[in-house]
């Protein structure tokens, strides 16, 4: 990306890093060795880090948990235009870095919108729904981004078939007549298209033994694929929900499976239970909590699954990132490319993990109440003083009462000893 400066075109990709480095370093951001366009700001108190990466087209800031490598509880992406806008974005990130650590992005987004036309964001506290924020006068307007369309455009299908003609090893070879015949059949009857292609592939011995999951789909049921081992993390996903039922495929993975007792086998049982629930009428969308299906899954797999379904209730279904898709959905990609003539299909992923962000996360706690022990001592002290004051008053009242009784004998004494009686004349 270039911008006019003094009548000359300046390449920001080469020039901007030297200008933003001192700006970010003032807020605790450090350049990562070997990655000149990546800056990291760690917060050991919250066990998180802010990752700021620059490209020629924009700036992406992600709050990454130090405990869950696959986790991105917050991500902001902007496309500033020009050197001044780049520097202003960096200054805004510095001002709001503390709040971003706590997943509080509202003030930062409002500040960024003074320098960029829109901010794209995803946040765990709002369900990880892809959202775009724009300025609407003094207010900020948030709207969810539409989900990827499926099936794909004809241009995408044509590009895939072009790869097939060129001999792409990831795609099964077709005879020339199949390109027109199978494409039409797919648009009319998916089940018949599936059985026709399956029979043709089997007859020509194109299917490998590990691709036998298509037999399950041909029977009208969903299939589950899970890795042979858990060396890359435990995960499992469905294949065929989108093909046969127009439902999103379900991907379950655990960043730290040992913490929740997750194995690929346990996740496969859970995927089956969720698929049955969706076919039965339960609908899932980005942002839904796992609690929507937790009860149904627990009743279905409680004898065989090692997962605590109640403890996973706060996990969230999201549109998976390209990095997660690349690592986990290889089998599904192969199936849809060879049976649906597409490389894209709807997927909802759920990172199963214990609850980590409780309600009110990042909100400062209320002021502590008055200390109980000093309060009791202060209350007792005035009471003691009050009693001491009352004691002298009581004595003062008794004193006037005793004085008259003491004076009476004094007055009677002269009448007894003296001749107070009148004399007789």
Residues in the chain, overall count:
425
CA 105 → CA 47, 87, 101, 110, distances in Å? Answer: 18, 19, 9, 9
More confident residue, 361 or 39: 39
Whether the per-residue pLDDT at 394 is higher than 70: the answer is no
State residue 15's pLDDT score: 65
Whether 395 has a pLDDT exceeding 80, the answer reads no
- Mean pLDDT for the chain? 77
Q: What is the pLDDT of residues 49-70, one digit of tens each?
A: 888 888 777 888 888 766 555 5
**Residue showing tokens 């993975």:** 253
Q: If you compute the radius of gyration of the chain from its CA atoms, what whole number of angstroms results? A: 39
C-beta atoms surrounding 201 within 10 Å: 17
Asked whether residue 385 carries a pLDDT value surpassing 80, the answer given is: no
Residue 336 pLDDT > 60: yes
Q: What is the pLDDT of residue 221?
A: 80
Does residue 4 carry a pLDDT above 50?
no
Q: Are 223 and 292 in contact (CB under 8 A)?
A: no
Asked whether the predicted pLDDT for residue 82 surpasses 70, the reply is yes
pTM here is 0.64
Q: Residues 142-164, buried b or exposed e (16+ Cβ, 10 A)?
A: eeeeeeeeebbeeeebeebbeeb
Q: What is the pLDDT of residue 149?
A: 67
Instruction: With a cut of 90, say whether residue 237 has pLDDT above it.
Output: yes
Residues 275, 273: Cα–Cα separation, whole Å: 5
Q: Where are the domains of the chain?
A: 2-144, 154-351
Residue 342: which pLDDT band, with cuts at 50, 70 and 90?
A: confident
Rounded mean pLDDT, 243-263:
82
Q: Using CB atoms within 10 A of its CB, is residue 59 exposed (0-12), middle (13-18) or buried (19+)?
A: buried
Q: DSSP state, 130?
A: -
Give the span between the Cα atoms of 24 and 61, in whole angstroms: 12
Give 128-148 pLDDT, tens digit per residue: 778 899 998 889 999 988 766
């Amino acid at each position: 990306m270039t911008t006019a400066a003094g009548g000359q075109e300046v390449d920001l990709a080469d020039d901007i890093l030297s200008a933003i480095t001192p700006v970010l370093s003032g807020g605790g951001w450090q350049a990562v060795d070997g990655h000149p366009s990546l800056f990291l700001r760690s917060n050991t108190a919250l066990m998180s880090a802010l990752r700021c990466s620059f490209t020629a087209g924009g700036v992406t800031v992600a709050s990454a948990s130090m405990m869950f490598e696959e986790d991105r509880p917050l991500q902001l992406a902007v496309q500033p235009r020009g050197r001044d806008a780049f520097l202003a974005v960096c200054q805004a990130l510095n001002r709001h870095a503390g709040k971003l650590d706590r997943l509080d992005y509202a003030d930062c987004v409002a500040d960024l919108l003074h320098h960029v036309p829109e901010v794209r964001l995803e946040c765990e506290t709002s369900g990880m729904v892809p959202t775009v924020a724009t300025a609407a006068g003094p207010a900020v307007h948030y709207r969810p981004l539409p989900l990827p369309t499926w099936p794909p455009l004809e241009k995408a299908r044509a590009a895939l078939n072009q790869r097939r003609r060129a001999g792409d090893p990831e795609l099964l070879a077709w005879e020339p007549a199949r390109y027109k015949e199978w494409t039409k059949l797919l648009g009319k009857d998916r089940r018949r298209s599936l059985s026709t292609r399956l029979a043709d592939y089997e007859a020509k011995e194109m299917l490998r033994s590990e691709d036998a999951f298509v037999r399950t789909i041909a029977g009208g049921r969903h299939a589950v694929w899970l890795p042979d081992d858990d060396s890359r993390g435990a995960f499992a996903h469905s294949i065929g929900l989108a093909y046969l039922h127009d439902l999103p495929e379900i991907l379950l993975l655990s960043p730290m499976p040992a913490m929740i007792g997750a194995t690929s086998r346990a996740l496969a049982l859970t995927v089956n239970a969720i698929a049955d629930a969706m076919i039965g009428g339960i609908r899932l969308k980005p942002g839904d909590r796992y609690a929507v299906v937790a009860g149904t899954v627990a009743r279905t797999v409680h004898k065989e699954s090692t997962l605590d379904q109640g403890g996973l209730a706060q996990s969230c279904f999201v549109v998976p990132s390209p990095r997660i898709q690349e690592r986990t959905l290889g089998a599904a990609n192969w199936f849809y490319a060879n049976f649906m003539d597409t490389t894209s299909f709807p997927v909802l992923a759920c990172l199963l993990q214990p609850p980590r962000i409780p309600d009110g996360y990042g909100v400062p706690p209320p002021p502590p109440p008055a200390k109980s022990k000093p309060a009791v001592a202060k209350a007792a002290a005035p009471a003691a003083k009050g009693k001491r004051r009352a004691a002298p008053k009581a004595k003062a009242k008794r004193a006037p009462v005793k004085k008259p009784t003491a004076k009476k004998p004094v007055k009677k004494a002269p009448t007894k000893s003296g001749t107070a009686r009148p004399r007789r004349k």
